[in-house]
Amino acid sequence: MRSTPHKAFATTVLAVAALAAASLGTTPAAATPSAAPRAAACTPAQVVANGGFESGSSPWSQSSTSVITSRAGQSAHTGTAFAWLNGVGSTHTDTLSQSITIPAGCSTASLTFWLHIDTAETTTSTKYDKLTAKIGSTTLATYSNLDKNIGYVQKSFDVSTFAGQSVTVAFTGTEDSSLQTSFVIDDVALDTSGGTTPPGDPTRTPAAPSYTVSLSSNTSGTVWTGHQSATFTNASATALNEVYLRLWDNYHGTCSAMPIAVTNVTGGTAGALSVGCTALQITLPTPLAQGQSATIGFDLGITVPSGTDRFGHDGAFNFIGNALPVLAVKDAAGWHLDPYTNNGESFYSLASDFRVTLDHPDTLLVPATGASVDAPGSSGRTVTTATASKVRDFAWAAGPFTKISGTSPGGTPVNVYSVSGISSADSQSMLTTAKSAVDAHAARFGAYPYGELDAVIDNNYWFGGMEYPGFVLDLVSTTALTHEIGHQWWYGIVGDDEYNSPWLDEAFTDYATDLALNKTGTNCWSSVSWASAAEKITNPMAYWDTHSSRYSTVVYGYGKCALHDLRRVLGDSVMAKLLKDYATSHWYGVSTTAEFKAAAQAATTTDLTSFWTQHRIEG
């Protein structure tokens, strides 16, 4: 995703574009008794009880019975209840706290809550009224009347250092002698995931997933219903007792009104939803040994919310990214059940095959991942069948788009789909850019393997652009479109764990974009200024979600500059060979920071230890 400064959203857009890591998430059921025991392994869990305040006040401690409330004057983020601190307009202190235990063995622990602040204060410079959020004795953040906002904003903090401890999550609000400020909190959650103790089987599994999907839409393309199945193989020597489906787009709704509904599961037993209802555990009927395959199936319902998002609709135009449930990955860290991030990507999946049949009205064009073939359906309808091999995800759009097509000089078919309001000149410009970009990246990193390439253009995308295999969403922008097409290699072909190592796709893609646009990054490293000792190019999204203003600067900017600097150390030809060979050796596989550092070191006799230290590339 090409990160751009977030535009101010209308309250209605916020309501559909964000879901708390909701308190409704529950601990997945334990594995079947035949599972091999693992000491201190992490069981992904949401450990805050009654985080939405819908079950009264227990187990929260509050300074007065009016803190947790549903009274008029404020509204909940979800449900009907919320915590309302202060708002008195005189000297006053309110407190709210809960004691929790964060499980040991989890590498990731993220505290989230939704906060709304309104105030009668008129100052633009003085913090008269304050809210402090703490865990244990550590202050996470302090907010004030200067942080007033329309609607709710989600706050997120990495609290992984407290794993294995019993601590108190506490909020303290203080007001001065006049002019009220209300601090309204809802949907507090603390999600844990990513077991690290003891080291697990490093084999990535379930392997070689194959998805078969059949969906039918309503007249507008905003609702899709049908069936999906997933066949997979256990590549690990450790038997699989369960799998997890990632229902990523439940982030864009609530646990009580989920945009992605999975029902009537076959081939396993559906367990608890967790991680803000984006992870569904399915227990297999018998343990799946190494080399054995299994199939699960389920009915699927998709409701596209309003809002120009990677999952949302801009009027008549629907963008349906990350909507198909995909299998989570299990590796040495255990099951990867990271939370959704709206700041970047959380997506980590293995190369898979998709066959997706989309039954829709003739009035809708349906660009999609893979190669598409249209056939007549029932009266007034078309059946689009899209097939894709060795892709990590599947996305599509649906709407009355204007379509133009061409073929790159290298032979890749390119289609540009534009929403209303995009001029024909801009559409033609994006077609020219796409044809140039796909060939430029292919020449550097290896031939584009996905057949056709679809680009869906809308200038209302707040996020700039978003990548999916063979399918991108983008603004009218030469740089942004070249970047998203670069992701076909760095994330699509050469995969990575996007939540824990975002630099491996964003920095590499921005570097590739510079090369495609004949930019050399001259002296770009000289402008680097670190915000803190903890800031590193290789930090995970858990860090960047709590330092969001620095994410683009460091991961995109400093990251690509570090690669330009590495090119200057190695020499142009050696760097070019390194990246092409690295892409070839990781084709349809997964890249890690350690593997890239090792490959770079093997390409030169110069000791790169100080280079990695200087550029804060760890791992």
* CA 549 – CA 528 distance, rounded (Å): 15
**pLDDT at site 9:** 30
Q: What pLDDT shows up at residue 199?
A: 52
Cα–Cα distance for residue pair 549/296, rounded to 1 Å: 41
pLDDT tens string 196-220: 444 567 899 999 999 999 999 999 9
Q: How large is the average pLDDT for residues 475-496?
A: 98
32 pLDDT more than 50: no
Identify the pLDDT of residue 7. Answer: 31
User: For residues 464-498, b (16+ Cβ closer than 10 Å) or e, as one string?
Assistant: bbbbbbbbbbbbbbbbbbbbbbbbbbbbbbbbbbb
Q: Taking Cα atoms as reference points, which of 251, 243, 302 lies closest to residue 270?
A: 243
AA identity, residue 266: T
Say whether pLDDT at 436 is over 70: yes
Structure tokens at 4: 């751009």
d(CA 446, CA 462): 31
Compute CA distances 271 → 23, 244, 590, whole Å.
17, 9, 29
- What is 454-478 written as a DSSP string? EEEE-TT-TTSEEEETTEEEE-S-H
Exposure of 434 in the CB half-sphere (CA atoms within 13 A): 32
Q: Name the more confident of 602 and 44.
A: 602
DSSP state of 59: T
Distance (Å, rounded) from C-alpha 143 to C-alpha 183? 9
pLDDT value, residue 201: 78
Q: What single letter denotes the amino acid at residue 312?
A: G
Query: How far is it, in rounded angstroms, from Cα 292 to Cα 553?
Result: 45
Q: Is the pLDDT of residue 266 over 50?
A: yes
Predicted confidence (pLDDT) per residue in 165-189, tens digit: 888 999 999 999 999 999 999 999 9
pLDDT of residue 272: 87
Q: Is the pLDDT of residue 344 over 90?
A: yes
Which residues neighbour 312 within 8 Å (Cβ) at sequence distance 6 or greater?
Answer: 16, 17, 252, 304, 305, 306, 318, 319
Taking 70 as the threshold, does the pLDDT of residue 95 lie above it? yes
Contact 82, 75 (CB under 8 A): yes
**Could you give the 3-state DSSP secondary structure of residue 126?**
coil
b/e for 377-396, b at 16 or more Cβ within 10 A? beeebbbbbbbbbbbbbbbb
Cα separations in angstroms, 461 against 231, 284, 345, 519: 34, 40, 16, 26
Average pLDDT, the chain: 91
Comparing C-alpha atoms, which of 321, 324, 295 is closest to residue 229? 295
Contacts of 575 (CB under 8 A, 6+ apart): 566, 567
pLDDT above 90 for 18: no
Least confident of 162-166, 370-374, 380-384: 162-166
Q: Which two tokens stand for residue 604?
A: 């030169």
Does the N-terminal peptide bond of residue 44 adopt cis geometry, omega within 30 degrees of 0?
A: no
pLDDT at 417 over 50: yes
Count Cα atoms within 13 angstroms, Cβ side, for 134. 16
Dihedral (CA of 530, 533, 536, 539) sign: negative
Give me the amino acid identity at 615: H
CA dihedral sign of residues 496, 502, 508, 509:
positive
Q: Which amino acid is at 109?
A: A
Q: Quote the tokens at residue 248.
A: 């990523």
**3 — pLDDT class (breaks 50, 70, 90):** low
371 contacts 387 by C-beta, under 8 angstroms: yes
Torsion over CA: 473, 475, 481, 483 (sign) = negative
Q: What DSSP assignment string belongs to 601-612? A: HHT-SS--HHHH
Three-state secondary structure call for residue 304: coil
| pLDDT classification of 131: cutoffs 50, 70, 90 | very high
Q: What's the average model confidence in pLDDT over 483-498?
A: 98
Q: Of the candidates 88, 94, 67, which has an alpha carbon nearest to the alpha carbon of residue 178?
A: 88
**Pair of tokens at residue 382:** 């078309």
Angle value at C-alpha 543, between 538 and 547, nearest 5 degrees = 110
Query: 10 falls in which pLDDT band (50, 70, 90)?
Result: very low
φ, ψ for residue 381, nearest 5 deg: -130, 155
pLDDT tens track for 534-588? 999 999 999 999 999 999 999 999 999 999 999 999 999 999 999 999 999 999 9
For residues 50 and 24, what is the distance between their CA atoms, to the nearest angstrom?
A: 8
Please say if the pLDDT value at position 5 is more than 90.
no
- The answer to whether 591 touches 496, Cβ cutoff 8 Å, is yes
Is residue 36 over pLDDT 90? no
Quick one: average pLDDT of 483-500? 97
pLDDT in tens, 505-535: 999 999 999 999 999 999 999 989 999 999 9
